[in-house]
Chain A
Amino acid sequence: MTPFTRETAALMRLPVANVDTDQLIPARFMKEPRKPEGYGRFLLLDLVAEGTATAPAPGQTILVARRNFGCGSSREAAVYALADFGFRAVIAPSFGDIFASNCVKNGVVPATVSEEDAERLLATEALPATVDLEAQTIACGNVVVPFRIDPVWRTQLLNGWDDIDLTLAEADSIAAYTARDTAERPWAAPRRG
Chain B
Amino acid sequence: MNSPASLFDRLWDRHVVKRREDGLSLLWIDRHFVHEGSHHAFGQIAARGAKVARPDLTFGIADHYVPTRGRGGPVPDASIARMVDQLSANTAAHGITLFGLDDPRQGIVHVTGTEQGLTLPGLTVVCGDSHTSTHGAFGAYAFGIGASEVAHVLATQTLWQKKPKRMRISVEGATAPGITAKDIMLTIIATIGADGAAGHAIEYAGSAIRALSMEGRMTLCNMSIEAGGRCGMVAPDATTVAYLKGRPFAPAGTLWDQAVEDWASLASDADAVFDREVALEAASIAPTVTWGVSPEQALPITAAVPDPEAMADPVKAAAARDALAYMGLTPGQPLASVPVDRVFIGSCTNSRIEDLRAAAKVLAGHKAKVPGMVSPGSSLVKQQAEEEGLARIFTEAGLEWVASGCSMCVGMNGDTVAAGERCASTTNRNFKGRQGPGARTHLMSPAMVAAAAVTGRLTDVRQFA
Contact = CB atoms under 8 A, between A and B. Distances in A.
Contact of A190 (B57, B80, B156): B57
Contacts of A106: 148
A96 B129 CA distance: 13
A16 B156 CA distance: 38
Interface stretch (B168-176, B355-363, B428-436): B428-436
Contacts of B438: 50
Nearest to A18: B294
Contacts of B151: 164
A17 B311 CA distance: 15
B258 interface: yes
21 contacts: A15-B318, A17-B294, A22-B431, A27-B410, A27-B434, A28-B412, A31-B412, A68-B195, A74-B145, A77-B147, A96-B228, A101-B145, A152-B23, A155-B22, A167-B26, A173-B17, A185-B122, A187-B120, A190-B56, A191-B255, A193-B97
B149 interface: yes
Given A31-B82, A115-B315, A173-B18, 14 more contacts: A23-B431, A27-B411, A34-B40, A50-B326, A68-B194, A77-B40, A101-B149, A102-B146, A150-B162, A168-B155, A170-B18, A185-B14, A188-B120, A188-B122
Given A52-B322, A98-B145, A152-B22, A170 B17 contact: yes
Interface residues of A, number: 63
A97 B50 contact: no
Contact of B195 (A71, A174, A186): A71
Nearest to B258: A187
B128 interface: yes
B255 A186 contact: yes
Q: Can you list the 10 inter-chain pairs with the closest CB atoms, starting with the nearest?
A: A105-B148, A102-B146, A187-B259, A76-B146, A76-B147, A74-B144, A68-B195, A187-B251, A74-B130, A187-B255
A187 B252 CA distance: 8
Given A152-B23, A170-B26, A26 B437 contact: yes
A107 B355 CA distance: 42
A18 B30 contact: no
A95 B195 CA distance: 8
A25 to B, nearest CB: 11
Contacts of A191: 117, 248-252, 255
B315 A66 contact: yes
Contacts of A52: 322, 432
B56 A193 contact: yes
Contacts of A115: 315
Contact of B228 (A49, A97, A164, A186): A97
Contacts of B434: 22, 27
A34 to B, nearest CB: 7
B156 A164 contact: yes
Interface string A42-84: 0000110110100000000000001110011111110100000
A30 B411 CA distance: 11
Interface of A: 15-18, 20, 22-23, 26-28, 30-31, 34, 46-47, 49-50, 52, 66-68, 71-77, 79, 94-98, 101-102, 105-106, 115, 150-152, 155, 163-164, 166-168, 170, 173-174, 177-178, 181, 185-193
Contact of A94 (B195, B432, B433): B195
A49 B432 CA distance: 12
A136 B151 CA distance: 30
B62 to A, nearest CB: 14
Contacts of B59: 193
B324 interface: no
Contacts of A190: 31, 56-57, 118, 249
A109 to B, nearest CB: 16
B329 interface: no
Contacts of A18: 194, 293-294, 296, 319
Contacts of A170: 17-18, 26, 158
A20 B431 contact: yes
B152 A167 contact: yes
A104 B129 CA distance: 18
Interface in B395-447: 410-412, 429, 431-434, 437-438
- Residue from B144, B412, B432 having most chain A Cβ neighbours under 10 A: B432
A31 B80 contact: yes
A128 to B, nearest CB: 26
Given A26-B437, A151-B22, A177-B28, A164 B50 contact: yes
A68 B83 contact: no
A75 B431 CA distance: 15
B291 to A, nearest CB: 14
A167 B294 CA distance: 37
Given A79-B146, A101-B149, A188 B431 contact: no
B262 interface: yes
A94 B296 CA distance: 15
- Residue from B24, B146, B228, B256 having most chain A Cβ neighbours under 10 A: B146
